[in-house]
Chains A and B, each alone.
Chain A
Amino acid sequence: MNCSIAEILLKNIDFSDRTFQISYPHDDMRIQNSIFEFGFLSVPVVKQKNGKFIVISGFRRLISAQKTNLKSAPCIITGMDDYSAFRFAVIDNASQRALNIFEVADIIEKLSSVFNIADTIIASEFLPVLGYPPAVKLIDRLRFAGKFSPQQKSILYQSGVEFEKIIALRDIDSSIWDSAIAIITQLKPGVNKFNQIIELINEISQRENISQKEVLEKNEIKSVMDNMILTAPQKTDRLRNALLVMRNPRFAEFEDQYLKKLKKLNLDRRLKLVAPQSFEGETFKMEIAFTNAQELKRSIGELNNLSEKKEFGELLDFVNDIG
């Protein structure tokens, strides 16, 4: 491979050509400070194109140099063809640090659209370098992270949102990405809860034939999101419950009535009546908690009274007759 080292004037670098740029975010204050204090500890790589130089590796370093008013920088000038240069940029970056999801998405997008590389090749040759298994089906998921606006990308990056949550946004309309990103970053739900929230929004929208945006604009949801008193975990649970009630109105109403009837029984806290799963089966269970024989005796006495109670019979009938 032909290459040489030279001091290059920054004005001779075409910073608008970002073919080989991989790093996200595009600038980093820490690099700027480092260059200001120590200069170039690692030399950028460039190649000539149309009478100018374009950056293959070290984009952020050279941008930082420009910002610190340096006029030139030492660079390795290579004669690699574009595809080899891109491969080099990928391998060079990936060998120095774990690339974030937005960088990976950008690499995949460039391999496909700029270099016309098939997904099977991307999977087998590039995914392992990027720290992923060589699975073709993974490519679409990774590519998805490149679809956000710069602002959305920045929020997701700054908040350190996990890959799984970012990917979950694929299942919703891009018109509510901002709202969903707000849910992720402000409420910080776990991956499973967030996936459930997304699924519920999706299903309600499909069943009611309304947009996902309209689902989120419903009063039940807005009142939760606008509530300033609730903590983030409380808001997450309220949001999920509100969506569950909207998704399963009959079940929610039935459950609500059941709980009211259960409350009327005034069961001692040591007794727990468990209804059949989903009110589907016929068998109830009663759990008794006790620490000594006396407590057990008292609970058994209460159970005897319970079976005689009119409200208890009503509760059983209520569940049995739901058909």
Chain B
Amino acid sequence: MFYPEQIIIEEPALQLPYTKKLVNKFKDVPTKVICEIKDTKKILFENFTGKKIFLITDYKGNLIKKCPGSRGVICCNYYVANIINGCPFACTYCILQDYINCGSVMICANIDRFFDELKKLQRDNFTLRVGTGELADSLAFDTYLDLSSELIPRLKDYPNVVLELKTKSACIENVLKYDAKEQVVLGWSLNPQELIDSDEKYSASLEERLKSAKKAVDAGFKTSFHFDPVILIHCWEQKYKDVVDKIFDFVPADMIAWISIGGLRFTPALKKIYRRDFPESRILSYGEFTMSEDGKYRYFRPIRFDMYKKMVGFIKNHGTDIPVYFCMESSRMWKDVMGSLPSGKKELGLTFNPYPAFKLEIENDA
């Protein structure tokens, strides 16, 4: 498991309460204070190559952003909070390999800024979904970093916000301490165990993830599941159907907030990194990939259609009302597979509640 060998603190972050908490927690880890982090990668490569590092900053940019989506795809109105950037798992297909693969974990310790931004974003009569799992696994570090204790108790002041904590771990103990069932959804990314073994190194097993989901449900929390990416390995239909069926062995349908599906996709840059860093992995050899409008390779359209149709079928076998949505898919695919756009699916009311069309003030703040 990832345990820091070095902590680097940006000087302005020294006085932040979360920084103090972390420094106190990692008393045994050497700490270095630097003036200002301008180029994270440069600092790490020049001075700390190969070390496991926690980099604590007083981040000046926006902590919450609308999920960037992609050109030509339907957006699910999700917001991402990048308080932690970095992940201890080594998923071969992960965009983080391309993005922040420098052996460090960046922690934005200015939690107040997160809540200031949340305040500006929330609106009456609609639910704002925010997740911390875009540039990090939401819970993989929670045993050490206890970010959940920084966020969850304060959520009650933002009643229209639902925080999704998405993970491939089984670290949910900190979350279960809180009575936040209406505002916290615990989410798991799932894949057949065969793929977890080969391509999601260091993550929890499928069984461990689902057992954690059951624990969460037993504590009253709603859950979410993400089949993203679906990878078309040999006999993928049966293998994914087994995973879907297994979810319902652990979690009742009415305790599932939403399930998302997304086919494997990658940029040409990520493909190069993948080939270089994971020569044993075979996932890019399955299926047929074509280039999409947004510059990413995706499975060829009819193959994707078939994949989505079957996956939705596997899920809907357990309940037609379970909210299922696609991640980064075109309107055409929505119509072909689901028969309509998300706005036409009543069960997606919460998930896709159209965000009021207002300009994001916070975007102009930084």
Contacts and interface: CB of A to CB of B under 8 A. Distances in A.
Interface of A: 171, 199, 202-204, 206-207, 209, 247-251, 254, 277-282, 322-323
A279 B301 contact: yes
Interface in B261-291: 275, 279, 282, 284-286, 288-291
B288 A323 contact: no
B288 A251 contact: yes
Contact of B330 (A248, A250, A280): A280
A250 B287 CA distance: 9
A194 to B, nearest CB: 15
Contact of B300 (A199, A203, A250): A250
B300 to A, nearest CB: 5
Contacts of B356: none
B72 A206 contact: no
- Main SS at interface, chain A: helix
A204 B282 CA distance: 10
Contacts of A281: 72, 293, 330, 332
Given A203-B284, A277-B293, A323-B333, 8 more contacts: A203-B285, A207-B286, A249-B288, A277-B292, A279-B290, A280-B301, A323-B302, A323-B337
A214 to B, nearest CB: 15
A278 B295 CA distance: 12
B336 interface: yes
B301 A206 contact: no
23 contacts: A171-B279, A204-B285, A206-B282, A207-B282, A209-B234, A248-B290, A250-B288, A250-B303, A251-B288, A251-B290, A251-B300, A254-B302, A277-B290, A277-B292, A278-B292, A278-B300, A279-B301, A280-B298, A280-B301, A280-B330, A281-B72, A281-B330, A323-B302
A271 B322 CA distance: 49
B305 interface: yes
Given A251-B300, A323-B302, A323-B336, A280 B292 contact: yes
A199 B293 CA distance: 23
A180 to B, nearest CB: 17
Contacts of A199: 275
Nearest to A202: B285
A323 B291 contact: no
A251 B290 CA distance: 9
Given A203-B284, A207-B285, A248-B288, A280 B293 contact: yes
B339 to A, nearest CB: 12
Contacts of A247: 288
Nearest to A320: B332
Contacts of B303: 250
Contacts of A249: 288
Nearest to B72: A281
A250 B288 CA distance: 8
Contacts of B332: 281-282, 323
A202 B301 CA distance: 23
A206 B285 contact: yes
Interface in B322-365: 330, 332-333, 336-337
Nearest to A137: B276
Given A202-B285, A203-B284, A206-B285, A322 B291 contact: no
B27 to A, nearest CB: 32
Interface string B5-49: 000000000000000000000000000000000000000000000
A171 B274 CA distance: 13
Interface in B130-167: none
Contacts of A277: 290-293
B165 to A, nearest CB: 33
B331 to A, nearest CB: 9
Contact of A278 (B285, B290, B336): B290
Contact of A323 (B282, B290, B301): B301
Nearest to A252: B288
Contacts of A203: 284-285
Contact of B301 (A207, A209, A248, A322): A322
A295 B289 CA distance: 40
Nearest to A199: B275
A279 B284 CA distance: 20
Contacts of A280: 290, 292-293, 298, 301, 330
A250 B302 contact: yes
Nearest to B232: A207
A261 to B, nearest CB: 16
Closest 8 CB pairs of A and B: A278-B290, A206-B285, A323-B305, A203-B285, A323-B336, A248-B288, A207-B285, A206-B282
Identify the interface centre among A202, A280, A282: most chain B CB within 10 Å of its CB: A280
Contacts of B293: 277, 280-281
Contacts of A251: 288, 290, 300
Identify the interface centre among B72, B279, B302: most chain A CB within 10 Å of its CB: B302
A164 to B, nearest CB: 14
Contacts of B290: 248, 251, 277-280
